[in-house]
Structure 1
Amino acid sequence: MMGQSIVQDQLFYAFNLDDHVPRDHLLRGVDRFLDLSELRQHLSPFYSHTGRPSIDPELMIRMLVIGYCMGIRSERRLCEEVHLNLAYRWFCRLGLEDRVPDHSTFSKNRHGRFRQSDAFRFVFEAVLRRCMTEGLVQGEGFAIDASIIKADANRARHVPVSEVAQWRQGTQCSRAVREYLDALDVANPVADDVPEGMHDTQTASRNISPTDPTARWTAAPGGPAFYAYSTNYLIDLSGGIIMDVQATPAHRTSEVDSTRTMIDRVEERFDIKPRRLVGDTAYGTAPLLGWMVEDKQIEPHVPVWDKTVRKDGSLSSGEFQWVPERNEYVCPEGHALRNERRRFTIARSHVTKADTVIYRASQTDCVGCAAKNQCCPNTPSRKIARSIHEGARETARSIAKTPEYSQSRRDRKKVEMLFAHLKRIMKLDRLRLRGLSGAQDEFLLAATAQNLRRMAKWLMPVEADVAMRIA
């Protein structure tokens, strides 16, 4: 006999939302470790004491956390999912009859109070403190790396840098364009005799997007070029927890410079400084190695950026012996290379604009040397440019020979796994917000979601096993 469902309206319902959310649901673990009790106090100076009550900022943060944890990139779709999904309503503290905010309110708050108050960094640091409380951060070793994320800009549309001055004369500019122009004003102040609108834009990229000028034109992944930003992660190697995140244009110099910003910020706000820092060759430049070794006393587990090895078969600088007692190099034939061969009345540092000291051999020694064709075939004498941070470079080279360095190279994969998770699971392979501040907001929320997911995945199963054993 064929059954038939009979739909009958009920006058009263006994419905508990918590009973319909599975105990092993990801959002239960995220809710366990997300504490927004101090968010209202942090945002209170940015709200008026009179007028119509606004939407609860905690509700909006919880909805954004859902979007980044579950890979829901569209704010319009996020509002629809929260309206329909019982687990999402439970996480947002919404009842069955409570209304979900309109998607347009996210843009208003993101570009207003949240950005002015740096609310997203406040939430990120609150989650990071919880990670420390749970024992997931040891602070012994950090890893640094960057990943390129496409900007919300059409790669087929671009303008020459000479048109930037004309943008200032327009009455209507987008938020991303205004931020770009303000950044140029800070970097290149206008002189009194320079007319308005004629700022120096030589530091800007030659290929500029009219919709997102701060985005950098890059072809780093090896395919067609596009506009992009870089998300820079500083992670703790013990548990893979993200300690800090910084958005920069997709340019190697900006990525490397962000290392100092993040390490200093973590030390200032959390009083944590790593014993070792792990990175790839891009972070093995002489100035950064000097900063790590000489200023911060951090062991650089980083390959040295070295271009001294010659490809024409001639002798490289590594085959010359450095004698620190005499402040000179000695070539394989026994001749000395010095930075000065006579005393000056006024002492000179001999440091060039490239932060190097040039050591030269005597032309007399080189002319009659039997190994001249192998040493300096195209110049009268041999010279070596020694970095002022060469001591730090030597420290990095000596560390590279230790077993700890080999382990650090394996541990560095943890930050690469976070980037793969960011793009594949959380679907953040292209930004939705424009401008450097928009990229920073997205990267902060994504890093917050990744730390929350890690705590939920790692700590909740342990608590469940303990409960089963007690029972």
Structure 2
Amino acid sequence: MMGQIKEQGQLFYRFRMEDHVPAGHLLRQVDGFLDFSSLRAELAPLYSHTGRPSVDPELMIRMLLIGYLFGIHSYLEDLEAAVANPPPGPRHKPPKYISETDPQAAWSLKDGPGRFSYEVNYLADDKHAIIVDVAATPARLSQEIVAAKEMLDRHVSGFAPSSIAADKSYGTGPFLSWLLERNITPYIPVLDRKAQTDCKMTRDAFTYDPERDVFICPQGHDLPLRSVNAETRVKRYKAKASQCRDCPLRSHCTDAPYRTVIRLMDEEARQIVRDLAKTDAYQAARARPKKVEMLFAHLKRWLKLTRLRLRGLSGANEEFLLAATAQNLKRLVKLSTA
């Protein structure tokens, strides 16, 4: 059953905790932003009505917040070190791609030696660097956009962004189209993966006719649409072999029997964002995310969140949510005293 701490008397004659916590201490300031009045009602369905009283859930959450606010992980790290260094015995080759203890984690080489890990994704207000949503994902680059869509679709109360700034890894055509369809202005560099041309003419040498949906080569020949891959969202335009055979520019154009040019199905969205990059609003928006980027540095430097204690995607979500809560509380204290 749910336990609850009632007011306790003084435990020691000459020691009072109140006398040893300065008036301006961070915990006193943070306490002003905490409201646990509805906590027990929210958690009541998770507790039995019989049995011994549990640890007070408010006390448990306050203890967790203190640990994240001050980066207190030393006790857990000592326990993990003891587990990680058992007596000598037979060594087993670790799995290369799938973790035997946490299959949802992804193999990553991002921070040096490869390891199974998760990534934290933040949706934050770039004016005050307040985190409004958190999502944990396996450490795969492709999962960043999945998390961004998930957070934007959650419609956090009181937060409806009209624009979003992010790094170039988010600048894919499908994601830019997704944002524009929702009237969210993307201040994001367009991700262009230009294939090797072996000193041949690039697609820029060809003119696109949107009315006929064809490319026109420098010699005036049409490259009509030949195939569409809905999965990769790529459209392929090919010239006729008979036109390329005797073309005077062939040696500068292609070594194949005919020239192929590709166009992405989201090219219109990509062009809109390219044009947007020429505006002053875009340049101003690109400078603001530096505040948000510092949040990730603070996770390791100040909160010392270099390892996760809970396994699975749900465990990673819980730890990242607690860390974000600690960061927001520190930020609120700073903003309120500024």
TM-score by length of 1: 0.63
How far did residue 443 of structure 1 move?
Answer: 0.5
Distance 2:35 2:92 in 1: 43
205, 210, 228: which one pairs with 2:100?
210
**Deviation at residue 56 of structure 1 after TM alignment:** 1.0
Give the one of 99, 115, 129 matched to 1:240.
Answer: 129
Counterpart among 168, 179, 188 of residue 281 in structure 1: 168
Q: Which amino acid aligns with 1:320?
A: F
The residue correspondences of 1:125-144 to structure 2 (distance < 5 A) are none
Q: 1:15 to 1:224 in 2, by over 3 A?
A: closer
Q: Which runs of 5+ in 2 are unaligned?
A: 1-11, 86-90
Are the counterparts in 2 of residues 319 and 332 from structure 1 also a CA contact under 8 Å? yes
Is the partner of 1:339 in helix, strand or coil? Answer: strand
- Deviation string 1:420-457 (CA, Å, 9 cap, x unpaired) is 11101110011122222221111110000000000011
The code of the aligned residue for 2:221 comes to H
Q: Which residue of 1 aligns with 2:188?
A: 302
Is 1:290 the counterpart of 2:177? The answer is yes
Given the alignment, which residue of 278, 293, 304 partners 1:427? 304
Task: Return the offset for 1:259.
Answer: 1.0
Matched, 1:254 2:143: yes
Structure 2 distance, partners of 1:364, 1:23, is: 86
Tell whether 2:48 aligns with 1:48: yes
Letter in 1 for 2:184: I
Q: What residue in structure 1 maps to residue 9 of structure 2? A: none
- The letter for the 1-side match of 2:232 is A
Counterpart residue type for residue 188 of structure 2: V
Instruction: Please report how far the alpha carbon of residue 74 of structure 1 lies from its aligned counterpart in structure 2 after TM superposition.
Output: 4.5
Q: 1:23: how far off?
A: 2.4
Match of 1:316 in 2: 202
What are the ranges of 5 or more consecutive residues in structure 1 without an aligned counterpart? 1-11, 78-102, 104-151, 161-205, 341-348, 463-471
Secondary structure of residue in 2 paired with 1:207: coil
1:316 is displaced (CA, Å) by 1.7
Q: 1:159 to 1:226 in 2, by over 3 A?
A: closer
Contact kept in structure 2, 1:248 and 1:436, CA below 8 Å? yes
1:319/1:451 CA distance change after superposition, 3 Å: farther
Task: State the 1:214 CA deviation.
Answer: 2.1
User: 2 CA distance for matches of 1:413 and 1:153?
Assistant: 37
Deviations 1:111-140 (A, max 9, x none): xxxxxxxxxxxxxxxxxxxxxxxxxxxxxx
Q: Which letter maps to 1:233?
A: Y
The structural deviation recorded for 1:351 is 4.1
Mark the CA change 1:264 to 1:352 in structure 2 (over 3 Å): closer, same or farther: closer
1:373 matched to 2:251: yes
Give aligned-pair identity as a percent: 48
Contact 1:339 1:357 in 2 (8 A): yes
| TM-aligned CA distance change 1:158 to 1:442, over 3 Å | farther
RMSD: 2.7
State the 1:322 CA deviation: 1.9
Q: Is the deviation greater in 12-21 or in 252-261?
A: 12-21
* 1:24 match: 24
Within 1, Cα distance between the matches of 2:135 and 2:264? 29
Query: Partners of 1:218 and 1:13 in 2: how far apart?
Result: 55
The code of the aligned residue for 1:303 comes to: P
CA distance in 2, matches of 1:231, 1:446: 10
For residue 252 of structure 1, what is the amino acid of its counterpart? L
Deviation at residue 249 of structure 1 after TM alignment: 1.0
Q: 1:397, CA displacement in angstroms?
A: 1.2
- Matched positions, count: 319
1:25-424 aligned at under 5 Å gives the runs 25-74=25-74, 207-221=97-111, 223-265=112-154, 267=155, 269-270=156-157, 272-294=159-181, 296-308=182-194, 310-339=196-225, 350-376=228-254, 378-424=255-301
TM-score, normalised by the number of residues in structure 2: 0.86
Distance in 2, matches of 1:60 and 1:75, equals: 16
Cross-structure match for 2:3: none
Would the aligned equivalents of 1:153 and 1:209 in 2 still touch at CA under 8 Å?
A: no
The structure-2 alpha-carbon separation of the partners of 1:410 and 1:311, relative to structure 1 and needing over 3 Å to count, comes to: farther
* Residue deviations 1:284-303 (CA, integer Å, cap 9, x gap): 12221221123x22122112
Q: Which SS does the other structure have where 2:142 is aligned?
A: helix
Go from structure 1 to structure 2 and tell me whether the alpha carbon gap of 1:157 and 1:208 turns closer, same or farther (over 3 Å shift): farther
In 1, Cα distance between equivalents of 2:146 and 2:84 = 25
Measured in 2, the distance between the counterparts of 1:216 and 1:374 equals 43
Q: What letter is aligned with 1:39?
A: L
- The 1:68–1:425 alpha-carbon spacing in structure 2 relative to 1, beyond 3 Å, is same
Cα distance, 1:14 vs structure 2: 8.1
Taking a change above 3 Å as real, the CA distance of residues 253 and 76 of structure 1, as seen in their structure-2 partners, is closer
Correspondence for 1:119: none
